[in-house]
Amino acid sequence: MRKLLYYLKGYERETVLAPLFKMLEALFELFVPLVMAAVIDRGIAGQDRPYIVRMCLLLVVLGVIGLVCSITAQYFAAKAATGFSTRLRHALFAHIQGLSYTELDQMGTSTLITRMTSDINQVQSGVNLVLRLFLRSPFIVFGAMIMAFTVDVRAALVFVVAIPLLSLVVFGIMLFTMPLYKRVQGALDRVLGLTRENLTGVRVIRAFNKEQEEWESYREKNEALTGLQKFVGGISGLMNPLTYVIVNVSIIALLYAGALRVDSGALTQGQVVALVNYMSQILVELVKLANLIITVTKAIACGNRVESVLEQKNSMSTGRKAAADKSGAPEEGCVVFDRVGLTYAGAGSASLTGISFSAKKGETVGIIGGTGSGKTSLVNLIPRFYDVTEGAVYVNGKDVREQEPERLRSGIGIVPQKAELFAGTIADNLRWGKRDAADSELWEALELSQAREFVEKKPEGLASVVAQGGKNLSGGQRQRLTIARALVRKPSILILDDSASALDFATDAALRRALGGMEDRPTTFIVSQRTSSIRHADRILVLEDGRMAGLGTHQELLESCPVYQEIYYSQFEKKAAPSGAAEGRR
């Protein structure tokens, strides 16, 4: 948590002025019991009304000055806390963006969302309250004890016993609850993760009539979170009654000792009232401190969770040659896999083993295989979303690990399995591929991706609104727009990861013809479950359980690769094989 204080840099003035004004407010409060004692002993006892009026006006002045100091302190504390949380949230988001897929997979999306929202909000509240109360409350407590000693030493000995007991209760509960709040946030992660999963998969849940089971699962996790929160809240709830008991017992002892001292003439009635007021001030401040401790405990637990993400190192390190690489974005588009192996972090076995092949500039490589054969894992190695665990991947003759990721990816167009669009307009989404792309470039990309027709039919054209995730578009329209987004940047390497699954055969064929007829044809990798999408590729790579089962043209594989034959004949009748072979030769 201490490392997060760095993000208060730039708010040094506010972090000093906020507690300073709070301590000024507290200082004026400490004079109030003395004024009240003077009113009782001199004004009321002597029936001096002018003196009582003057003292009452003094109390009003002290109250107004205290209010001004309090408002000023609140302003500076809020400014520092909100500025701190803003900087911290920006830093956390930037850090998460810089992590590799490996770290993101290990931590999980739900916990990262929780840490960026709920956890940082808790830390912000903690910083705000610390700046306002962390110095004020102890100052009042010990200041009241010191002022009590100036009134009467013997009676003030009650404070010497009460304050350590109160401190023991407050800090004991704080130390006990701190680890429990970490568990509460972990349970919140699980509830958030399940909620996110249910919302994104609501159609599947309804299609398989799993609403009741998912509801039971949610209720179980939610009740676990509720039970944990109740337990921690119960422990924290002991703080107020225990402090009230100790303070009220102390007041009884103070009144008893004060009565004896008044009877002996050593104290006045006003001084006893002042001592009781000081004890009441201590009670109020310790209740505030107790609530502060609860909030600070949560804030520390949440801050440690945020800090753990910031301390997470990117497992992908750029090679020493990267700094000297001045070659610019990839131009040649040649890709070489040299005995590549990949094992995901925490996985029991390798996802890819011994993959070796090369793709020359302008070639089209089809990648096919059964579900879980490693097709997506393979193409994810080209833009270096994951690092190989064996062998090497070369782009333009250089190991991808020795290239700056931004420079490497600037020449690669990627269309992921899931067509992901963002809230905005069609033009906004397409310009993710190239920020300064002109409208003519956008229409050209739409033409190639077979999306121009449906975009032109929209009244607003490129300015048509796209809902978050492209929910207001069909699956095929989303896929075509994501393909257009990748083509806008005119990449030298194009990766289509099962990106035509929602397209009909005619549109798929038109798309392939358009890509093949491009003037500056990119090196294209097409991942597909359909042999019709890849049969015209220059070469086809067949994967089975992470290994190469075959490499060659459609006709070659149809004659020599059993795995490819099985996939092909599951989609086409055997009598169609000769025509398919002839078409492959053409």
Distance, in Å, from the CA atom of 355 to the CA atom of 567, rounded to the nearest integer, reads 20
Of the candidates 140, 548, 541, 149, the residue with the CA atom closest to the CA atom of residue 368? 541
Buried residues in 267-305 as b, exposed as e (16+ CB within 10 A): bbebbbbbbbbbbebbbebbbbbbbbbbbbbbbbbbbbb
What residues contact residue 186 under an 8 Å CB cut-off, 6+ apart?
none
In three-state secondary structure terms, 335 is strand
Show the 3-state SS of 291-307: HHHHHHHHHHHHHHHHH
Question: What DSSP string describes 81-108?
Answer: HHHHHHHHHHHHHHHHHHS-HHHHHHH-
User: For residue 82, what pLDDT is reported?
Assistant: 94
The tokens describing 265, both together, are: 């003439």
CB–CB of 289/169 below 8 Å? no
CB–CB of 407/323 below 8 Å? no
Q: Strand runs (DSSP E) across 401-519, as ranges?
A: 412-415, 424-425, 465-466, 493-497
In three-state secondary structure terms, 350 is coil
User: For residue 340, what pLDDT is reported?
Assistant: 93
Distance, in Å, from the CA atom of 286 to the CA atom of 240, rounded to the nearest integer, reads 9
Question: What are the beta bridge partners of residue 156?
Answer: none
CA atoms within 13 A on the CB side of 578: 1
318 φ, ψ (degrees, to nearest 5): -80, 135
Of the candidates 525, 563, 564, 160, the residue with the CA atom closest to the CA atom of residue 377? 525
CB–CB of 134/120 below 8 Å? no
Tell how strand 493-497 and strand 412-415 pair up. parallel
The tokens describing 397, both together, are: 């003759």
pLDDT tens digit at each of 586 positions of the chain: 678 888 888 898 999 999 999 888 888 888 888 888 888 888 887 788 888 888 889 889 988 998 999 999 999 999 999 999 999 999 999 999 888 888 888 888 878 888 888 889 999 998 998 888 888 888 888 888 888 888 888 877 888 888 788 878 877 887 788 788 778 878 888 888 888 888 878 888 888 898 899 999 999 999 999 999 899 888 878 877 888 888 788 888 888 888 888 888 778 888 888 888 887 887 778 777 777 877 887 888 888 889 989 988 887 776 544 444 434 444 466 899 999 999 988 787 889 999 999 998 889 999 998 888 889 999 999 999 988 999 999 998 889 988 888 888 888 999 988 888 999 999 999 999 888 899 999 999 999 999 998 899 888 889 999 998 888 888 888 989 999 999 998 888 999 988 877 788 888 888 888 888 887 888 999 998 888 888 888 999 999 998 999 999 999 998 889 999 998 988 887 654 444 443 433 3
CB–CB of 450/515 below 8 Å? no
Of the candidates 182, 138, 133, the residue with the CA atom closest to the CA atom of residue 299? 182
Distance, in Å, from the CA atom of 405 to the CA atom of 385, rounded to the nearest integer, reads 9
Q: Alpha carbon of 121 to those of 6, 127, 175: distances in Å? A: 17, 10, 22
CA atoms within 13 A on the CB side of 3: 11
CB–CB of 351/377 below 8 Å? yes
Tell how strand 523-527 and strand 547-552 pair up. unpaired
What residues contact residue 422 under an 8 Å CB cut-off, 6+ apart?
428, 429, 432, 466, 468, 469
Distance, in Å, from the CA atom of 2 to the CA atom of 486, rounded to the nearest integer, reads 43
Distance, in Å, from the CA atom of 398 to the CA atom of 370, rounded to the nearest integer, reads 31
User: For residue 582, what pLDDT is reported?
Assistant: 39
Of the candidates 106, 159, 537, the residue with the CA atom closest to the CA atom of residue 344? 106
CB–CB of 525/416 below 8 Å? no
The tokens describing 368, both together, are: 């096919």
CA atoms within 13 A on the CB side of 524: 30
What residues contact residue 122 under an 8 Å CB cut-off, 6+ apart?
295, 298, 299, 302
Distance, in Å, from the CA atom of 416 to the CA atom of 379, rounded to the nearest integer, reads 10
To the nearest 10°, the Cα dihedral for 495, 497, 498, 504? -40
Q: Strand runs (DSSP E) across 383-527, as ranges?
A: 390-395, 398-399, 412-415, 424-425, 465-466, 493-497, 523-527
Place of tokens 């730039």: 10
The tokens describing 346, both together, are: 């925490």
User: For residue 574, what pLDDT is reported?
Assistant: 64
Count of residues making up the chain: 586
DSSP letter assigned to residue 40: I
Distance, in Å, from the CA atom of 470 to the CA atom of 431, rounded to the nearest integer, reads 16
Q: Which amino acid is present at 91?
A: A
Tell how strand 364-369 and strand 539-544 pair up. parallel
Of the candidates 142, 141, 173, the residue with the CA atom closest to the CA atom of residue 285? 141
